[in-house]
Structure 1
Amino acid sequence: MPPMLDVYVVQANAAPTERLSYIKTVLAAYPNAPTLTPRVLLSAKARLKQKDLQQLPSGCLLLEHDGLSLLSYGTNQQPLRVAPHWLSLQQRVVAAGKKSELLLKAAKIQPSMRVLDATAGFGHDSLILASTGASVTMLEREPALFALLAFERADMQQHAHWHKLLARLTLYFTDFTAWQMPNDLPAFDRVLLDPMFPTASYTSAVNKHMQALHTLTLAPNFAEQIALLQRAANVLTDDGRVLVKRPKTAPFLADLPPQDSTTNALIRFDSYHKADLAALS
């Protein structure tokens, strides 16, 4: 049974209702995708004020005249609208082709490679990976995040110069460890894991996207960490690598030391070859 997902439609005119029909059509193209339950909010304004947002539950979707967003409550308990906003990443995506991104320095990706972003979140790392010319498969298990990703991918089709990059992105609604990988899908050259980690792992304030993620999902326990690495090894080519994204000072996933790490002031990418993960079997 597909999960049900509340979406609050701010109806100051007909536009959001038409937009809702479009979003439902987009989601219907994905197997077992969330089913939207509209909650219509009549308003004189096409965009709610902060005091009105405070009446809505955290984790719901909000459809206003300017698009679809996730409503979350930040560290100061103030309501936040959060959305992928891929267009705002355009400059980073273009620059990423010059290997300026830490992720690409760690992953060493070639255009012919196949990459799995097993915990896609808002899809920002997937865009950076796809900027290399590689094909990227995105997995997301949280219904609200998946709905945002599906809508964003479809909505970005209106920008012709994004078409080639979007064609390299494939999206699935699933939990990575339970994913039934299609038989005709080849193994991956790289697998990116970006599991949630405790807030104590951060050395500085986090942005609103990360704050929103913390309201939706928990950090994996030790057994779940092992399961993530085992599953990654199972879908990896023999000479492939798993990249694990962590805060710089966070412990290794499943306490397993990587073959190497690539870091900056805040983030660390731990790299594992398939043979490194054999001890987990």
Structure 2
Amino acid sequence: MSDTPLSNTPPVEQTVAVACDPLGDSFAARNLADELGLAWLGTVQPKYVKDYPVLLYMDEQGLALQLTGKGAPGPVRAEFVTGKMGYRREHGGGTGQLIARAVGLQKTRAELHVVDATAGLGQDAFVLAGLGCRLTVFERNPVIHALLADGLARAVLNTECAPVAHRITLLPGNSVDWLRQAGPDAADVIYLDPMFPHRDKSALVKKEMQVFRQVVGDDDNSAQLLEAALACARYRVVVKRPRKAPSVSGPKPATQVEGKSSRYDIYPIKALPA
């Protein structure tokens, strides 16, 4: 996710409202609506809502983003206990993931402090935390930030996930500001995953992107993020990009780790500790 509001994205209060399922925590949902300055619709069925394209929706499973209208895809949430993340945790925790190679975990046994400056739903951060890294994560969009906070809170309640979730610190605010103020060696590795037009054909990615486009839009500050990250990373900066997309404006990456649909551009500063 980006850390700069976008001129072509409607204000969040015009796009998103907060609502509740009959089995959801209506008290918590109402408080969240007040906190974010969003309209509170009470207990509703998303398919009947016409005034807002997206709901921040509280149901029995926690907080989710839900497109409104008939035929809309199901909810999107930050989920670490079940689903894809649960399966990954039960089958190695992500040791074979390209992000682990890009961050350099095969080269060091040190506990790395990684700053994820564009956390989104936190999946990459959770993989790295599960592999022993200590994470500081930022998500500038208040709606996505609320989703991530809810997902991490639920993960802490799960016996297997709690040790991983406790290695993740979610901070409010603009990561660009934090990076610019942090100074040299503020983090071992800084990870950037700016929003880009996903071309993955899976239904999940399509569903996530439909919602995220409505709420966040596209990033326009990738170059500023990269510049700020390079000024305060100790060992390297890693940027996730579509496989065939150009690199972020600025210095060229020294190397890349490439997958089927995406790649990781690596900007080394000095060698990782053995």
Name the SS for the 2:263 alignment partner. strand
| Residue 148 (structure 2) aligns with | 149
Q: Does 2:239 align with 1:244?
A: yes
The alignment status of 1:160 with 2:154, answered yes or no, reads: no
Aligned residues: 250
For the Cα contact (< 8 Å) 2:47–2:68, is it kept in 1? no
Report the alpha carbon displacement of residue 254 of structure 1 after superposing the two structures with TM.
1.0
TM-score by length of 1: 0.76
Of 39, 42, 67, 1:40 maps to 42
Answer yes or no: is 1:8 the counterpart of 2:22. no
When residues 183 and 203 of structure 1 are mapped into structure 2, their CA distance, relative to the original with a 3 A threshold, is closer
Change (3 A) 1:84 1:217: same
Give 1:208 shift.
1.6
Aligned residues: CA RMSD: 3.3
Deviations 1:200-225 (A, max 9, x none): x637464322332222223333xx22
Q: In structure 2, what is the equivalent of residue 279 of structure 1?
A: none
Q: Deviations over 1:32-61 (max 9, x none)?
A: x7456532135xxxxx3x632x53523430
Alpha-carbon distance, 1:192 to partner = 0.8
Instruction: State the partner residue of 1:17.
Output: 26
Contact 1:96/1:128 (<8 A) preserved: no
Which of residues 67, 81, 91 is equivalent to 2:87?
91
Consecutive unaligned residues of structure 2, counting only runs of 5 or more, are 1-11
Q: CA, structure 1 residues 241+150, in 2 after alignment: closer, same or farther (shift >3 Å)? A: same
Give 1:265 shift.
1.0
In the alignment, is the contact (CA less than 8 A) between 1:196 and 1:214 conserved in 2?
Answer: no
More displaced, 258-267 or 184-193?
A: 184-193
Q: Which runs of 5 or more structure 1 residues have no equivalent in the other structure?
A: 43-47, 276-281
Which whole-Å CA distance do the structure 2 matches of 1:72 and 1:185 have between them?
Answer: 42
SS at match of 2:195: coil
Secondary structure, aligned partner of 2:75: strand
Q: Which residue matches 1:270?
A: 265
TM-score (norm 2): 0.78
| 2:92 is equivalent to residue 103 of structure 1 | no
Greater Cα shift, 103-112 or 87-96 = 87-96
What corresponds to 1:119 in structure 2? 118
In structure 2, do the counterparts of structure 1 residues 212 and 98 end up closer, same or farther at CA, with 3 Å as the change threshold?
closer
Structure showing greater relative contact order (alpha-carbon pairs closer than 8 Å, 6 or more residues apart): 2
Give the structure with the larger strand fraction.
Answer: 1
* Contact 1:69/1:82 (<8 A) preserved: yes
- Aligned to 1:93, the other structure's residue is in SS state helix
1:108: how far off?
1.4
Partner of 2:76: 82
2:55 aligned partner: 60
